[in-house]
Amino acid sequence: MAQCKQGAHEFIQSAFCPVVAVLASQDAENICKKNNLSFVEMIQPFCRLTSEAHIRDPSNTPHGLHNFKIIVKNIHQQPHQPTLAKKLLNESVSSCLPVSLASDNGPANIVSIGDYDLQLSVSTPWFEAYRECFFRVSYISDHEFLKNYTACMFIVSSSHPDPMAQFKVLSHHQQQQQHQQPGKHPRWFCPNVLKYYVLLHDVIDGEDQKADSVYQSMKTTYGSFICHLLSINSRQAPPMSHDIMQADPWSQFINKTTLPNAVTSEAQMNGLPEKQRLSSVENAVEALEEPILDHPLANHTAVNLENTDSGSMDSLNSGKDSRSSSVSTPHGLCLTTSDQDKLRILMHEFIVRGLLPWAERQIKTLNELVSSKKTRGLFSGAKRWFGGSKPAENVTGATVVYTQEAPEMQLRRLGDLSFMFQMYELAYQTFHTAKRDFNNDHAWLHCAGALEMAGVSIFMQGIQNTRQFEYMESAIGTYLNTCKNGQFATRASLLYTEILKSKQMFTDAAVALIKMTSEDADLRSALLLEQAAHCFLNVKQPRKYAFNMILTGHRFNKASQKQHALRSYQCALNVYKGKNWILAEDHINFTVGRQSMSLRQMENATFALRQILSHDSKQSHDQQVIFLKEYLFVLKQFLAHSPPSDNTLCQLPLPLVDGNQIKVMASYRQKQHVTSNIIAATGVSFDCNDEDNTKWYRLEELCLRVAGVSSSVFEPTIQCYTNQTDNSGNPNAVISEPMTVELSLENPLKVNLVLNDVSLLWQFSPEIDSEVNQEQQPPPVFTNEQAKSIKSTIADELVTAITIKELTLEAKEQKKVQLTLIPQKTGELHIIGVGYQLGMLTSTPQNNLTNSEMPNNRQNLMFVRGKQLLEVQGPRLNASKADKASKVYGPDRRLDLLVVPPMPQLQVSFEHFPKVLSCGQIQRVNLVLSNSGPVDLCNIMVSSPTSQYIMFTEQIDGNDLDTISNINQCCGGSSVDPNKIFDPNNFYPSILPTADDSLTIKCTCNVSHLTQQQKQNPNHSCINKVPIRCQSIKPHQTVLVPMYVIGANQSGTQILDMLFYYEPMDETLKIRHRIVRHSAALTILSSLCVKAWPTRGTADESNSATISLEIENISQVQVQYPNQCLFNILQVSGVSNQWCLHHLSTKPNTDVRVIKNESMQIVLKACKCEKEADKEKEYFSNVVFDQHAIDSAVSPCADFYSKSKDTEIFKLEDPPPDNLYQVEPPAPTVEPFEGLDKAVKLGMTLIVLWKGLITSTDGHSDVIVGQHHVNIDGLDTLVASNPLTKVVKEQPAITFIKQDEFIGDPMPDVTLLAQVLKVNMEYQQIVYHDFTGPKRLCQVPLKVSLQNTSNMDVMVIIEANTRKTNSTANELTATKSKDLFTFSGQVGRRFNVPANNTIDLDLKASFWRPGVYHLNCMKIVAGSENTADFVPQKHVPSHSITILSTNG
């Protein structure tokens, strides 16, 4: 149970006190009225002894009386009518509210039980008030004497003409009432009750001598112990205008017994039979009203709230507390402190000198009387001996009626008197004896009363005896089941639960309290259920507490105690809240909302109903419709009656807005063209992946370094702010440029939601000039948040908010919504939330209905305007230990924007941008650049990680897009007639036609300077300067720039990322540059594969090389692109600084055509230039197969060639080096064997120019052109345009022991040494000899030439007669004939061959039989002076000789 002000002993003592009647004359009451009090009210605060008194029992043993109290009543006070009793009980409960409900500033009690932190009232003063009122208004029954008057005080004023006569009149009146109407009110404890006489003397108006004289007569007549002279009113009453600072001890007693219109007729109550009177009082204990909810767990039904106006809300407030605040009237104005002491002395003397001696005499008399009755006969004794000790159950017989003088009633009278005067042992013995007599007589009501008092007497003795629980349970059961008397069962339960509470037996107390609940006593059941809930709370069972509090709230609601019902539901909500009890939490919140609405607490009702909609509800669709409709109605009523004082919008719970998913697009967005041939740059969208930002940041940083922008810390341009970006800085918004915010809205309900007039809410602080604002005053703050529908002209001039007229969220739908603001002034713009009107749809309207034909529920839909605040959370800080130990978050300013002056706006679009390309195909695209801003822009650059696939040429004249069609007529990819001859010179610039087979065109590349710069700074290739003739683009001007795109060498998907960088012409602007992003995905189809195998030239042409070129058509038929491809090779261009390309196996004007799945072999010849090689220039030599030669030294052919030479591509994952754009080339490093590279190095790039005819399945043909690049670095190495599959080398075994590394002189590459010499033999290839003649040995002279093709001296060792045993085919032949011929002459020699020189050796070969002989059998090794090992040389040409016999 809850904590009470009184303990169990004190409560029981206060409940059963001696009752004293007061009979005062009219003149005495008039004296008391000077203090605004009656005599009974005047002595009420002094009815409790402040000191200990003593009383003796029949055995003359003294007993101390502690905290003894009496109850004083007016003798004319009648028992309360049922209606009055009902009002008193309800008033006692409704007048005691917890502080947290009575005022908004009351303290909150937090009780922690396990994981629960409950906010509740530890004490329940309303229960104590009800309990006290219950004992006060309960009717007096005939089976007990606890409420009968034990004494009567007669009060007469000293100003009465004959006070003694008046005492006689009052005494006679009392005797008449007692003896002539013994069964009617008032009821007396015994025939000879104590009579006490008080002479009331007014000190101011009375005569002291007369008062003393009368008092002496009283003592003479009645005795000095029962007479008292009371002198009061020692001062005059002050005027009403004066403030009286005096304690008022009477106010707390007056309200308990006063109720307006509480006039009761004695005849009305005395005329009722005893049983009917008990039933009337029992029914009066509870106040019954029409309930709102039939059951706390019943389903809620919809209420037609749409037709309820504001006036009808008063009817919903009928259950509100109707207590009238009466004007506080001062009491005791004429009473001084001395007078109050005299009143206290009066009551002390009355109790000590009058009441206690009378009680001692009565107890002795009753004890003697009872003792004499114990020997009343054998039959009575046998009946007691053989009679049962417990009342039989379910026995319904006639009620036994005892007279007041019956022995059983005398026994009960003795027990009651002993109990009231705290002689509990004597009381227990008496009640124990009486309950057996009543049980034997089947007087169940009397028996239950004796059992009840016997159990209480055991408890009051303070002894450990379990019979007290048995007696109390038996008494309650008898009251309920046998006697059907709820009043006394309730009283016994209240006493029993207090006993159990003092024994810490809270579970048993809860069971006893719940047992007393019934359907016909709502107020009593509510109070008892609440106490049972507190019992469960004391035994750490919070969920049982919450369940019983829900039942308590339901019963309070039925009893029209709406404040307590609301409080009970709120207490239960503390347990279920946040514990995943979704359905229970929804039920409680909905009930709290309705209760608060009926109490006109609209703010609390709105908050409670809001909680139902703030989480993922598990309710059904119909139930959610009821919840949402109720919330909208209550919120609308709340806003209508209590509009916000600051004219702000209320916060709405729906839809849900995820703050972490808020995205802010601070910059403008690219305009999307509607033309099919023109596409706009993709820019930055809300769907972009944040992981790609690093790539774009590196590209932007690269542009800044090229532009010469010096900054110690690079701050990238963040165009879309998300939870993954760095939001520590404020985004920049530009005047007149829209900035967009994307919100993620989620409808958690199963009901369709309708949002009208959706827009962003903002606060704006305009920028004030420092010269104007010299006092440094803060700028004014403007906002568009307005609760009323009043448009703010000033707000519209500052920021324009784009409104979405209507937005529908389906059930359980999550939708992205983009809202736009357009700032018009510079300053600080803060986005604080989103405003809208919230409504709902119970059904989805048909799409073909117009607005006038829509259902009524759509047209008459209730909307409430409100807002949701946008809150973002920054990243968690983990820099320090303190940050890691606590949850500290960094700033996130994505919603706090700085509005800057106007800026240029570059709009980028492409015409005829391809989606599909073949490998190596070149497509011309027109780049359209427009400046839609009010400021000039300049210095346009394009940064791309795949810049080798794009290039730009000079600007096209004219600003009209119609000129693009003229350009595209010669652009690859256009639709052409397959019978029409395609002129590639419309695409490539041509050179004068030639028919000379040996003509080789040599020209200096016009991009040689770019090539040299790329050699110095290879990473510069990532940047492309867009060539604009005027160097700037004016506002609203459009520029066309030709752009070429080439397909990658490998099929698949090719991603082209381009970052357009530009700067404003006005250098005073805060933002110094802006960017536009574009990302395109191209599908690359297979086309040609070009492979080259370079070998050394023949002996007669030492400065030449042979290139075997294989061209294969690897195009494949795909499902999406079922095309047939035919390729014509137009020209092969060689680019080198010392080699020129010539025809070898082909001739000019040769039709070189490669169809699908076929390959063609072409052999070309490369010769060294006659002039000395110039490293600063590259020469283009062409082998033409078409009628016209193509100038491959100009754009776009030369540009794509130069880009293909870039082997070191800038890595976006790494930051650019500081010396990225250093003008001075790095210092050259000298390798010790650098000269050997010349022997095998070719240093040529082949550019294969081709055109193709693509025919689709529907007969549509397209002509495409393109080029492939093959970079040839050295001889005898297979190279291809497509990436070759690399052979994975076997890795050596892992060793765990460190090997000693030999550090010696650097060694040349073995592969280079094997090809450093070019070996050639001059001899007669066919020789005739007579082997039968005198010279049988045939000697043939031969000349061996050894040419050093490197740039360094080479040491050569030659051993002619030493045969090699290598495994080549030619050498195997030599092995078979090694004994058939021999060399003579300088067969063994070691010599040095200077760089680029030739040494000849004269030898003779001797043969002794005819045959064919292989001469490549001599051993030739080469090396340097610093090397110990020599490397055998490769004999590329095959040397053989035929020896024939003349004799046949």
> Residues 1207-1220: pLDDT tens digits?
444 555 555 554 44
CB atoms within 10 A of CB 845: 15
Would the pLDDT of 1429 be above 80?
Answer: no
Q: Which of 856, 586, 569 is nearest to 748 (CA)?
A: 586
Give the whole-number percent of the chain exceeding pLDDT 90: 27
How far apart, in Å, are the Cα atoms of 1106 and each of 841, 1140, 1141?
A: 82, 12, 10
**Average pLDDT, stretch 701-719?**
83
SS (H, E, C) 1324-1340: CCEEEECCCCCCCCEEE
Give 1050's pLDDT tier (boundaries 50, 70, 90): confident
Mean pLDDT highest for which of 525-529, 675-679, 1351-1355?
A: 525-529
Would the pLDDT of 979 be above 80?
Answer: no
Residue 927 corresponds to which tokens in the numbers above? 């780049």
Would the pLDDT of 921 be above 50?
Answer: yes
Is 796 or 365 the better-scoring residue by pLDDT?
A: 365
Residue 505 corresponds to which tokens in the numbers above? 């037996």
Residue 1293 corresponds to which tokens in the numbers above? 């075994």
Four-CA torsion 967, 970, 973, 978, nearest 10 degrees = 140
CB atoms within 10 A of CB 1298: 6
Mean pLDDT highest for which of 102-116, 147-161, 1205-1219?
A: 147-161
pTM greater than 0.85 (yes/no): no
**Average pLDDT, stretch 803-832?**
91
SS (H, E, C) 28-42: HHHHHHCCCCCHHHH
Give pLDDT, residue 738: 92
Is 24 or 331 the better-scoring residue by pLDDT?
A: 24
Distance CA 1147, CA 1151 (A): 10
Give 74's pLDDT tier (boundaries 50, 70, 90): very high
**Average pLDDT, stretch 78-84?**
82
pLDDT tens-place string over residues 209-230: 999 999 999 999 999 899 999 9
Would the pLDDT of 889 be above 90?
Answer: no
* 1172: Cα separation from own chain's centroid: 74
Residue 664 parent element (H or E): strand 663-665
Would the pLDDT of 925 be above 60?
Answer: yes
Give 1301's pLDDT tier (boundaries 50, 70, 90): low
User: Which CB contacts under 8 angstroms, 24+ apart, belong to 533-541?
Assistant: 534/1, 534/2, 534/124, 535/1, 535/501, 535/506, 535/507, 535/509, 535/510, 536/506, 536/507, 536/510, 537/111, 537/113, 537/118, 537/120, 538/1, 538/506, 539/506, 539/507, 540/113, 540/114
Asked if 1425 and 1355 count as a contact pair (C-beta separation under 8 A), the reply is yes
Distance CA 1073, CA 703 (A): 10
Would the pLDDT of 398 be above 60?
Answer: no
Give pLDDT, residue 309: 35
Beta bridge partners of 680: 909
pLDDT tens-place string over residues 1326-1339: 898 888 888 888 88
Give pLDDT, residue 148: 92
**Average pLDDT, stretch 55-62?**
91
Give pLDDT, residue 578: 80
Distance CA 70, CA 421 (A): 10
Q: Lowest mean pLDDT: which of 92-106, 570-584, 688-702?
A: 92-106
Give pLDDT, residue 215: 93
Give pLDDT, residue 474: 93
Distance CA 1267, CA 1203 (A): 13
**Average pLDDT, stretch 575-586?**
84
Is 827 or 1174 the better-scoring residue by pLDDT?
A: 827
Give pLDDT, residue 1383: 84
Give pLDDT, residue 1017: 40
Give 263's pLDDT tier (boundaries 50, 70, 90): very low
Q: Lowest mean pLDDT: which of 415-419, 893-897, 1092-1096?
A: 1092-1096
CB atoms within 10 A of CB 1253: 18
Would the pLDDT of 857 be above 70?
Answer: no
Q: What mean pLDDT, rounded, does the chain reach?
A: 78
Please name the amino acid found at residue 159. S
Would the pLDDT of 76 be above 70?
Answer: yes
Task: Check whether the bond before 186 is cis (ω within 30° of 0).
Answer: yes
Give pLDDT, residue 423: 93
Give pLDDT, residue 102: 39
Q: How many CA atoms lie within 13 A of 727 on its CB side?
A: 26
Give pLDDT, residue 353: 93
Would the pLDDT of 1424 be above 60?
Answer: yes
Give 181's pLDDT tier (boundaries 50, 70, 90): confident
Would the pLDDT of 428 be above 90?
Answer: yes
Q: What are phi and psi of 1008, to 5 degrees?
A: -60, -40
Would the pLDDT of 952 be above 50?
Answer: yes
Beta bridge partners of 1305: none
Give the whole-number percent of the chain exceeding pLDDT 70: 76
Can you say whether the dihedral through the CA atoms of 398, 403, 405, 410 is positive or negative? Answer: positive
**Average pLDDT, stretch 1197-1202?**
86
Q: Which of 127, 111, 131 is nearest to 536 (CA)?
A: 111
Residue 904 corresponds to which tokens in the numbers above? 């240029």
Asked if 1133 and 1114 count as a contact pair (C-beta separation under 8 A), the reply is no
Give pLDDT, residue 519: 87
Distance CA 1448, CA 1441 (A): 18
Give pLDDT, residue 1289: 59
CB atoms within 10 A of CB 586: 22
Q: How many CA atoms lie within 13 A of 606 on its CB side?
A: 21
Q: Which residue has the tokens 């590394």?
A: 1301
β pairing state of 1074-1085 and 916-918: parallel
Residues 6+ apart with CB under 8 A from 180: none
pLDDT tens-place string over residues 999-1035: 333 333 333 333 443 443 434 568 888 888 888 899 9
Distance CA 666, CA 672 (A): 18
Distance CA 729, CA 898 (A): 10
Give 1296's pLDDT tier (boundaries 50, 70, 90): low
Is 732 or 1432 the better-scoring residue by pLDDT?
A: 732
Give pLDDT, residue 815: 92
Would the pLDDT of 1189 be above 50?
Answer: yes
